[in-house]
Structure 1
Amino acid sequence: MLLHILARGRIARSPEGELLDRYLKRVTWAVKHTELPDRGGNIPPLPAQARTVLLDERGKQFSSEEFAAMLGRWRDDGVREARFVIGAADGHGDVARGEADVLIAFGAMTWPHLMARAMLAEQLWRATAILSGHPYHRAG
């Protein structure tokens, strides 16, 4: 299953960009990172057998184990792509929220978009590590 991060704005050379690259390189599943302009720009068409996840302040807060279990179920059910969408400064509109399969929040606090991208990459690595039995994740 392809793990695809679509994010508005450019991360360029930054500490957050270095973290993003560091974690995405560790993910053993197919992974892709697509940057879109802050406004406009075409989101690539969603293939059949895909899921859309929006990072959104109104979303559900998952534990790392719950997040991994969701990805594992999707993989086992034949989902071809899990698309993780990070919006621009104003977030996502009601239409996008309504069309998404899942809304995820990284807590009640507001996070900078660049940091959210790096945090998502780390959680994707952690989830795939949990599913493969890798010792990186130490459950409490």
Structure 2
Amino acid sequence: MKMAIVAVGRFGSGHGEERSLFERYARRLPFPLELREVEEKKRLPPDKLKAREAELLLGAVPDGSLIIALDEKGKSLTTRGFAERYEQWRHMGRDVAFVIGGADGLHDRVRKKADLLLCLGTMTWPHLMVRALVAEQVYRAHCILTGHPYHRD
């Protein structure tokens, strides 16, 4: 199984801490957690920008991947619940892509394509931090399933 995070925006030179945190957890995994960043350079009205970001995001999702879209209206899972989903994905033998939208959220086109809408909580998180949060939760789920003591209930 391969995993990817497909996200709007890029880690810039001023985001070394966020990148470092993402990489810390991605490196701990026994498989690659690929980061695919997309960005529209043209200034577009918000509705057109969201539609364009949807095109870019869906175009960057690896073929055949389950799409897990991060969305404030999505399903909230406990850590153990996320680990159970992670185990199901492993047994399905399909790759997984976590999709993170831009500042205005996800276009309905992405939501409709998603196999799961996942909410990380009702607070607003900086999009660059969400990459690290997802990487940490994937690592934590892996630890739960392999009996590693990283996670404590």
Q: Once the two structures are superposed, what CA deviation does each residue of 1:41-96 show, in whole Å capped at 9, x if it has no partner?
A: 46235423x210001110111111111111111111221x1000001111111121
Show the counterpart of 2:10.
10
Task: Verify: 1:71 aligned to 2:73, yes or no.
Answer: no
RMSD: 1.5
When normalised by structure 1's length, the TM-score is 0.90
Matches of 1:123 and 1:113 in 2, distance apart? 16
Query: Counterpart in 2 of 1:19?
Result: 21
* Larger gyration radius, structure 1 or structure 2: 2
Instruction: Name the structure 1 match of 2:31.
Output: 29
Corresponding residue number in structure 2 for 1:58: 73
Q: What's the TM-score once normalised by structure 2's chain length?
A: 0.83
Q: Percent identity?
A: 41
1:30 is displaced (CA, Å) by 3.0
CA distance in 2, matches of 1:33, 1:68: 21
Number of residue pairs matched by the alignment: 137
Change in CA separation of 1:3 and 1:108 when aligned onto 2, cut-off 3 Å? same
2:63 is matched with 47
Q: Does the 8 Å CA contact 2:61/2:97 hold for their aligned counterparts?
A: no
- Runs of 4 or more consecutive aligned structure 1 residues displaced over 6 Å after TM superposition: none
Q: 2:89 and 2:151 mapped to 1: Cα distance?
A: 20
Q: Distance in 2 between matches of 1:45 and 1:82?
A: 9
Q: Structure 2: which amino acid aligns with 1:2?
A: K
In 2: Cα distance, 1:117 partner to 1:61 partner:
17
More helix by share: 2
Deviation per residue, 1:109-128 (Å, 9 max, x gap)? 11110111111111111011
The alignment status of 1:123 with 2:137, answered yes or no, reads: yes
Residue identity matched to 2:136: E
Alignment correspondent of 2:103: 89
